[in-house]
Structure 1
Amino acid sequence: MAAEERVVVVGAGVAGLTTAVLLAEAGTPVRVIADQVPGATSLAAGAMWGPYLVEPKDKVDQWGQRSLEIFRALADDPATGVHLTSGIEASREAEAPPEWATTLPGFRPCEVTELPAGFTSGYRFTVPLIDMPVYLDYLLQRLRAAGGTIEQRKLASLDDAGPAATIVNCSGLGSRALVPDPGLRPIRGQHVVVTNPGLTDFFSEDTGSSPDLLCFYPHGGTVVLGGTAVDGESSLEADDKAAAGILARCTEIEPRLAGAHILEHRIGARPTRSAVRVEAERCVDGTLVVHNYGHGGAGVTLSWGCAEEVLDLRRGFAF
């Protein structure tokens, strides 16, 4: 692959793989370089579409809506791991629904009888749920089918990814060192995956800025229970105390989960900054670097919209 036509995507999480797929399917020679394939944080996601505590709002709305369109189309194919699911987001306070939820199919306020004890408001809607191990494998297969290649190694800097005409930085939390970006910080998340005792609907509590989340997302034979959001923590080791808290919170809402068999713990570190960074810069050696990172807990939700913007930014620069 000649350096003058080569594009390297750094990172194999959902942002990196989605971007690489679009580049490869547009006819661009693409190589993905990552130390984890697929990325551990993306593997640990729940994952329900929904803009989650992320800025800037105007761009997030655009990226999120474009991604929603694509996820709805992908849900027609069971091999993608994407499925449209009805469920409830509830609050213990009298909260207004998030603006993005009001536009979703089947949106309506819940009756009091639909809410668990202790909750004062809630809303039902239908939204894409994504089974991340299945979905990331789907993206990897789609990338390879389009001619993209993957190299598993750890980079010391973005310069190590070259030579290339374009480097697309989707390294997530790795951007703290690779850019470097001191404004990027981890928010540790943990999920517990259990056998499904018969759940078909999702449930999510609007917990605001609390580090203790409450949600469960059914994916066929399994349910992903959540979760945590511990600001500043990046350890990927399982926390037994946090797992016990997740199980207790979810079982209180859905007693059938009490007898579910624990299959695994999934832990990731959400790459968080004041605003998602999707922008391009030209290096002194002529290499174009396009950044696509800092999605926090909305990496899946924004993935397709951000990837399309990366392609637009690359086209906007003359080579």
Structure 2
Amino acid sequence: MRREVCVVVVGAGVAGLTTAVVLAEAGASVHVIAEQVPGVTSLAAGAMWGPYLVEPKDKVDQWGQRSPEVFRELAERPSTGVRLTSGVEASRTAEAPPDWATALPGFRSCEPAELPDGFSAGHRFTVPLIDMPTYLGHLLRRFDAAGGTVERRRLASLADVGPASVVVNCTGLGARELVPDPDLRPVRGQHVVVTNPGLTEFFSEDTGPSSDLLCFYPHGDTVVLGGTAIDGEGGLVPDDKAAAGILARCAEVEPRLADARVLEHRIGARPTRPTIRVEAEQRENGTVVVHHYGHGGAGVTLSWGCAEEAASLLTTQEGDRR
């Protein structure tokens, strides 16, 4: 990509930062504008690779397969915050494993003795586990090394970005007002971070559409416990009752967590819409806007695949204009 192409990426969550890295490393001049760097919703993620109730399925399958390839490479460097971790996803209703899990390394069905009380089926596999504060720091350093620049500023509209050949809209829930996009809605997520009592494997329950999630992800000295998925709520104030429920659910599965010390609460509002939006739009003033938002709870999972598609849309638009 030509260096004279000036791209402004709006938003500094995992979607925005990954896209900024892809573009900057491809040779574009990239400037990120965001009110919060990195974005709070991405900081609050658990985070385990795995498509999470998002559409369209054919595109999600395509985008989702690219990210593990990148994460496996990053896992070779501890400073990135990415590790390949084994663990169990279990169900209380003896459901079949999700399609995406069967192709993962080490996949096999669990024996009954491997499952916690109350669970009737489960599957073991190895998957990328991402410590989000460390990982987002890695993306920022990588972006800086590629010559990118960052500006902390709240935008009233996408027209306020200033001079740019292309604007990439990675504003997540903010796109509801900036585009505007009435199809976006928040799904509030809360995690509790505790000291690690010695866990090395993850655990996740397939809870379907329930607003009460059950998962724990070990990240060295800490464990991220989850969670909630409250549709239509976007507040970021910790909910003590929800936190107590998270702790109780996780301790029932792993008793060692009952005495773990609470370190912090992480809350985010997942930007959710009927389908993820990754597409280009040419506005009346001639500005090309590449929209890249609406990933719900799968932002980390789809980050590299979606970022590369957004970059390809930008390249196509630039080619058409020359």
TM over 0.5: yes
Could you tell me whether the CA contact under 8 Å between 1:83 and 1:129 is conserved in 2?
A: yes
Alignment of 1:204-219 (within 5 A): 204-219=204-219
Alignment of 1:98-117 (within 5 A): 98-117=98-117
Give the deviation of 1:94 after TM superposition: 1.2
Q: Which runs of 4+ in 1 moved over 4 A?
A: none
Give the deviation of 1:4 after TM superposition: 7.0
Give the deviation of 1:316 after TM superposition: 1.0
Distance 1:162 1:71 in 2: 34
Tell me what 1:86 maps to: 86
Could you tell me whether the CA contact under 8 Å between 2:4 and 2:29 is conserved in 1?
A: no
Distance 1:198 1:307 in 2: 35
Alignment of 1:37-186 (within 5 A): 37-186=37-186
Give the deviation of 1:232 after TM superposition: 0.3
Distance 2:107 2:4 in 1: 49
**1:197 is aligned to 2:211:** no
Residue by residue over 1:144-164, the C-alpha shift from the partner in whole angstroms, topping out at 9 and shown as x without a partner, is: 000000000100011011321
Distance 1:306 1:93 in 2: 33
Residue by residue over 1:69-127, the C-alpha shift from the partner in whole angstroms, topping out at 9 and shown as x without a partner, is: 11111101101000000000000001000000000000000000000000000000000
Helix, strand or coil: the match of 2:102?
A: helix
Helix, strand or coil: the match of 1:270?
A: strand
Tell me what 1:35 maps to: 35
Could you tell me whether the CA contact under 8 Å between 2:4 and 2:28 is conserved in 1?
A: no
Distance 1:61 1:73 in 2: 20
Helix, strand or coil: the match of 1:292?
A: strand
Tell me what 1:257 maps to: 257
Which runs of 5 or more structure 2 residues have no equivalent in the other structure? none
**Structure 2 counterpart of 1:221, one-letter code:** D
**1:21 is aligned to 2:21:** yes
TM-score (norm 2): 0.97
**Structure 2 counterpart of 1:201, one-letter code:** E
Give the deviation of 1:308 after TM superposition: 0.3
Could you tell me whether the CA contact under 8 Å between 1:43 and 1:132 is conserved in 2?
A: yes
Give the deviation of 1:301 after TM superposition: 0.2
- Identical-pair percentage: 75
Tell me what 2:226 maps to: 226
Distance 2:30 2:70 in 1: 22
Could you tell me whether the CA contact under 8 Å between 1:106 and 1:126 is conserved in 2?
A: yes
**Structure 1 counterpart of 2:128, one-letter code:** P
Helix, strand or coil: the match of 2:281?
A: strand
Distance 1:7 1:106 in 2: 41
Give the deviation of 1:286 after TM superposition: 1.2
Residue by residue over 1:5-64, the C-alpha shift from the partner in whole angstroms, topping out at 9 and shown as x without a partner, is: 311000000000000001111110000000000000000000000000000001001100
Residue by residue over 1:127-176, the C-alpha shift from the partner in whole angstroms, topping out at 9 and shown as x without a partner, is: 00000000000000000000000000100011011321100000000000
Could you tell me whether the CA contact under 8 Å between 1:191 and 1:226 is conserved in 2?
A: yes
Tell me what 2:286 maps to: 286
Matched positions, count: 317
Distance 1:53 1:132 in 2: 20
Which runs of 5 or more structure 1 residues have no equivalent in the other structure? none
Residue by residue over 1:168-189, the C-alpha shift from the partner in whole angstroms, topping out at 9 and shown as x without a partner, is: 0000000000000000000000
Distance 1:83 1:94 in 2: 29
**1:188 is aligned to 2:188:** yes
